[in-house]
């Protein structure tokens, strides 16, 4: 009994801190929405307030990191579950080729420019890929916002494009890791480890759906298996196969994406994903050093311009070229015109390997904040249909 009481006293500060951070995030998110901004910006501000770079209270970043990693894993695990390649191919939507084309185009253009600025091949490739990808959380919020002016075809295109961006991005990131040896293994060994992990996921794709189907009536066990399998597969990929957690989580989500139990698993995971994703954005805000921003200004200007020129414009142009039916092309481009959570994971990998200068990492964090705010506000410019007004 004394041991349990002692343990409770030791862990109480950590529990209190997480609880207060969530409460502060609620308040900041509510204020942000009242100002017409996405709640994500409120979460980032909370992180900035409790960071070691600002006066006052400093949150335990190590504890926050663990919970934020869970959020990213569940987020990308859920995105992987959501992907249904068979349905996309059957529908023959223009998004099926325009989204991968945009990711490749943005990666090559931005990566080439970053390379010209003196960053090495590996850093340039993943910086280009980081700019090419959008935030799944922000895109979903755009399509659900009460202030939205997007029509239904544009919202469907936003969601499909974002999902295919992630799918293409994971493939490219795994190739870069394999060929450039960004992990702790040599390139050839890293490629073999990735192939071995994919084979493990294929086995999981056969076993997991059957287990989920058997537990469908057991709601608590079904939920535990859904969340536990995502975390376990991602952890195995990172620990034993040198695949970054976020990439491993996405691939793991694909493992059960084709099963009849996938939709139910995704529905039950969503509340946990949303909760831990909040802590991810709080962590992201805690990494921003206001004192380092002046040195990062040239990179910030470049990255923001790259998002506009190499992503927003190509998205709008490709969607027009594909003649996506009833889609508002500029709203689609602006709605995807931000840098998000998957990009942060890639840039964090580069910083850990000393492949980019610290000011470029700071600039990426600032670009996340600026582009999320601009995208969420500017995408509302347009005419709201009568159907949307009635729905709100």
Judge contact between 133 and 163, C-beta under 8 A.
no
Q: What is the model's pLDDT at position 4?
A: 44
Going 25 to 29 to 32 to 34, the CA torsion angle's sign is: negative
HSE value, Cβ hemisphere, 13 Å, CA-based, for 241: 26
Q: Tens digit of pLDDT for each residue in 141-196?
A: 888 888 888 898 899 889 889 888 988 888 888 888 777 766 666 777 777 888 88
Distance (Å, whole) CA 377 – CA 392: 18
DSSP letter at 182 equals -
Domains of the chain: 61-382 (1.20.1530.20)
Tens digit of each residue's pLDDT, the chain (392 residues): 444 444 455 677 778 888 888 999 999 999 998 888 888 889 999 999 988 888 877 777 777 777 778 877 877 787 777 766 656 655 557 888 899 999 999 999 999 999 999 888 888 999 999 999 998 888 888 888 888 888 988 998 898 898 889 888 888 888 887 777 666 667 777 778 888 888 888 888 888 888 888 888 788 888 888 888 888 888 898 888 888 887 888 877 776 666 667 777 777 777 777 787 888 888 888 888 888 899 999 999 999 999 999 999 999 999 999 888 888 999 999 999 999 778 888 888 888 888 889 899 999 999 998 999 899 889 988 665 544 543 33
Q: For the whole model, what pTM was predicted?
A: 0.85
Q: Residue 332 corresponds to which tokens in the numbers above?
A: 């689609």
| Distance of alpha carbon 365 from alpha carbon 280, whole angstroms | 13
- Give the model confidence (pLDDT) of 244-265 as tens digits: 887 888 877 776 666 667 777 7
Query: For residues 246 and 345, is the Cβ–Cβ distance under 8 A?
Result: yes
How many whole angstroms from its chain centre is CA 246? 8
Residue 144's pLDDT is what? 82
For 392, other C-beta atoms within 10 Å of its C-beta total: 10
* Alpha-carbon gap, residue 129 to 180, rounded angstroms: 14
To 10 degrees, what angle do helices 245-256 and 219-240 make? Answer: 140
């Amino acid at each position: 009994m004394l041991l349990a009481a002692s343990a409770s006293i030791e862990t109480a500060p950590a529990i209190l801190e997480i609880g207060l951070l969530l409460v502060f995030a609620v308040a900041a998110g509510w204020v942000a929405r009242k100002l017409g901004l996405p709640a994500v910006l409120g979460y980032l501000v909370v992180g900035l307030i409790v960071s070691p770079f600002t006066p006052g209270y400093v949150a335990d970043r190590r504890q926050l990191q663990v919970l934020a990693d869970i959020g990213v894993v569940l987020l990308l695990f859920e995105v992987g579950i959501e992907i249904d390649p068979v349905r996309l191919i059957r529908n023959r939507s223009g998004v099926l080729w325009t989204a991968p084309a945009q990711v490749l185009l943005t990666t090559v253009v931005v990566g080439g420019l970053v390379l010209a600025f003196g960053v090495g091949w590996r850093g340039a490739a993943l910086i280009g890929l980081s700019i090419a990808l959008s935030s799944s959380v922000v895109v979903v919020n755009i399509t659900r916002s009460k202030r939205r002016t997007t029509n239904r075809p544009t919202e469907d295109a936003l969601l499909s494009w974002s999902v295919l961006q992630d799918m293409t991005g994971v493939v490219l990131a795994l190739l870069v890791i394999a060929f450039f040896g960004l992990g702790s293994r040599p390139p050839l060994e890293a490629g073999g480890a990735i192939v071995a992990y994919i084979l493990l996921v294929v086995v999981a794709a056969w076993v997991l759906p059957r287990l989920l189907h058997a537990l469908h009536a057991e709601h608590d066990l079904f939920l535990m298996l859904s969340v536990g399998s995502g975390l376990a597969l991602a952890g195995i990929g990172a620990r034993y196969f040198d695949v970054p957690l976020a990439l491993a989580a996405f691939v793991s989500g694909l493992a059960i994406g084709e099963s009849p139990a996938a939709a139910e698993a995704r529905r039950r995971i969503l509340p946990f994903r949303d909760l831990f994703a909040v802590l991810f954005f709080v962590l992201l805000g805690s990494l921003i050093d206001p004192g380092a921003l002046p040195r990062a200004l040239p990179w910030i200007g470049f990255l923001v311009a790259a998002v506009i020129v190499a992503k927003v414009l190509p998205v709008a142009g490709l969607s027009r070229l594909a003649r996506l039916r009833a889609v508002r092309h500029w709203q689609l481009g602006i709605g995807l015109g931000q840098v998000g959570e998957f990009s942060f994971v890639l840039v964090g990998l580069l910083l850990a390997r000393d492949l980019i200068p610290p000011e470029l990492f700071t600039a990426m964090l600032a670009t996340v904040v600026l582009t999320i705010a601009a995208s969420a506000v500017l995408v509302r410019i347009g005419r709201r249909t009568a159907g949307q007004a009635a729905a709100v």
